[in-house]
Structure 1
Amino acid sequence: MDKIKIFVLTIGIMLFSISSCFAWGFGWGWGDLDDIGDRPLIQYYAHTLEKGWSDRANDGEAAGDPYGTQTIDAIRVQFLTGRNMYVMYRVHVQNGEWTGWGMNGSTAGIYGKPIDGIQISLGSWRGDIWSVSYKGRIKGQGWSKEWLPEGEILGNLKDPILSFRVRVN
């Protein structure tokens, strides 16, 4: 009888542990995290002429060339979680104009033409619960000191951007 109780208790603990793992997610891309209290996760990429697309950067990490001299010519930004949210962004091409708005992982930029401005905005069908901020490394100036609120322009529309970071607030 004691062996049966131990067996049933062990199975119960295992089932509870497994369900907890699925409820919280195993990592990037798992779990819905759509409740108001759960912070959405964002990922982004930078493209340079020399190296192509960078590895994925997540929430606050640097994308592009944070220590070198390679200029970004395209970006992609998207959410890993938060299905009721979307991110819009556009870039300013050096000696050119603003591109149209990209959304949810689409490419913004023109391959081979350096970006000298980035603008990012967040949208949600649940209201303004979350916001994004971002900063960048500009050629000849280094990293911007402050995180810019969404909608602000990163860059001076003159010098190329080498790297950028995005975070959800």
Structure 2
Amino acid sequence: MEILDRPKLLYPSLVIAAIAVTVFSLLGIATLTGALPFAHSEMREATAAKTQAESDRMTSKKLAATCPSCGTVESVHAVQVKGEGSGVGIVAGGIAGALLGNGIGRGAGRSLATVAGAAGGAYAGNEIEKNTKKHISYRIRVRMSDGSIRTLHQSEAPGVSAGDRVKIVDGTIVQLS
């Protein structure tokens, strides 16, 4: 009886390399699409704003009767707003993913890899398209003279910063001198 040596289908190092590439690719996609959370430290700013708000509250009661649309800027934050996908990213990503998936495996495995690649590529393509169309919006929080808080959004950088006295006229901020 002859013993036939069957060739190994995959070497262990090849499997490890494939898994590593997949994991790093997914992390890259998650970073590009903004799916990974980022650490933000806003504790100092919140404490300073609270202290400023308390001192402003004392003077704001006096000013409430004279200027109901006046207030003090508590914070100004730049906020990233994701763009809208047009469908081009879905199609391009789906095609690229299907082509990459088609190169993996044989038979039913190849079909499964093609479908999975198309689905993953479509999702990644859509998220990448949205991420490339993102823009910056500014959120301005104002404590009004009567103690209430108003939050305004604008696309251009405001000419005010925390602590500035302002007046809100027709939904826009005007700095008081």
| TM-score, length of structure 1 as denominator length | 0.30
| TM-score, length of structure 2 as denominator length | 0.29
Structure with max Cα Rg: 2
**Which structure carries more relative contact order (alpha carbon 8 Å, separation 6+)?**
2
Q: Answer 1 or 2: which has greater helix percent.
A: 2
Q: Answer 1 or 2: which has greater strand percent.
A: 1
